[in-house]
Amino acid sequence: MSKKYSKLKNYISKKMSMSHIYQPLMLIELIKGNGKASGSNIAKSFLSYDETQIDYYKKITTLMPFKYLSKHLNEIKKSKDNYSFEDFDLEESQKDELIKMCSNKLESYIKKRGIKKIFGHRTLASGVISGSVRYKVLLRAKNRCESCGISNKEKALEVDHIIPRTKGGKDDLSNFQALCYTCNSQKSNKDDTHFKKILESYNHRKKGCIFCNISQSKVVKSNELAVVIKDNYPVTKHHCLIIPKRHCSDYFELYQPEINAISQLINEMKTELQKKDKTIKGFNIGNNSGEVSGQTIFHCHIHLIPRRKGDTENPRGGVRGVIKDKQDY
């Protein structure tokens, strides 16, 4: 028995830890190729298992080739998920000739346009998103689509720019979102979809709103969708506000990517403040939504309030103190 066989058998049966389908498929290609496999063949083996790709091209089939072919060749019919020619009675030689003609058309088109341009819509506009960024985005999204909520166990997830780079979006973590393949394939900055309306709404600013018109000189930190400023009436030293750039009246109007962006800034500020001020031992994170809760500026903002030992006589209960006599329990 060869050492290579024993090592592979031991790894596959006892040590292979899987978070995706890739490892066994790559090994299959290497074994089939007597220890050698091209990147293209390995990638094709991944695609053969990717049903989301099939779902995508099934939609494309209906929207594009069937639409145009049936317009000119009305004998091509569709029934549910099946397509057919009426009265298809071609001889083998005729089929071979027509297939060759189609192949020649295909080769000529690819030569003229280039395969990368043809499938440009299937590549990320930003180029390759690093594995570490992808990991952080999926971890933050808890492996669920941030549009429809479906789990990655049910449908593969992709990492996507919220504001495309072609529209000025950056490669900041706050500008990425996790979308299932269906939601991402429907998203476009060219057509009038729900996604386009969401994209445009990120630029919404309300005239007269003080948080929509913050001077850059007051911005302590920012990312693609939110900013940090110092509170004008701090409860404690270094009390700051994290504010979405888009005008929205309260926390419940935030989109999931904005919540992600705000959470990112909260964590970054927490780390920076504790590094700068060793007396900080904790934080209150608070939001007032609605007039009865104490909201006075109707543009969502999150308070990050550093806490120190002895800054109040009895800190027990924390935010429960917003209702008199309910803090202690």
Q: What is the per-residue pLDDT across 79-128, written as a single tens digit (0 to 9) for each?
A: 888 888 888 888 899 888 888 988 888 888 888 888 776 665 555 444 56
Residue 32: in which H helix or E strand, if any? Answer: helix 22-32
Residue-level pLDDT at 123: 52
265 and 318 together in one domain: yes
With 0-12 / 13-18 / 19 or more C-beta atoms within 10 angstroms meaning exposed / middle / buried, residue 303 is middle
Counted domains in the chain = 3
Range from 157-171, 202-216, 276-290 carrying the lowest mean pLDDT: 157-171
Residue-level pLDDT at 230: 97
Q: What is the pTM of this model?
A: 0.53
Average pLDDT over every residue of 147-171 = 79
Residue-level pLDDT at 191: 43
Domain that holds residue 177: 131-201
User: Which CATH number do you get for residue 149?
Assistant: 1.10.30
**Boundary (domain end) residue, out of 178, 201, 224:** 201
222 and 284 together in one domain: yes
197 and 146 together in one domain: yes
In degrees to the nearest 10, what's the CA dihedral of 19, 25, 27, 28? 150
Q: What is the per-residue pLDDT across 17-26, written as a single tens digit (0 to 9) for each?
A: 876 778 888 8
Structural domain includes residue 327: no
- Classified as helix, coil or strand, 259 is helix
226 and 313 together in one domain: yes
223 and 301 together in one domain: yes
Residue-level pLDDT at 188: 54
Average pLDDT over every residue of 215-234 = 94
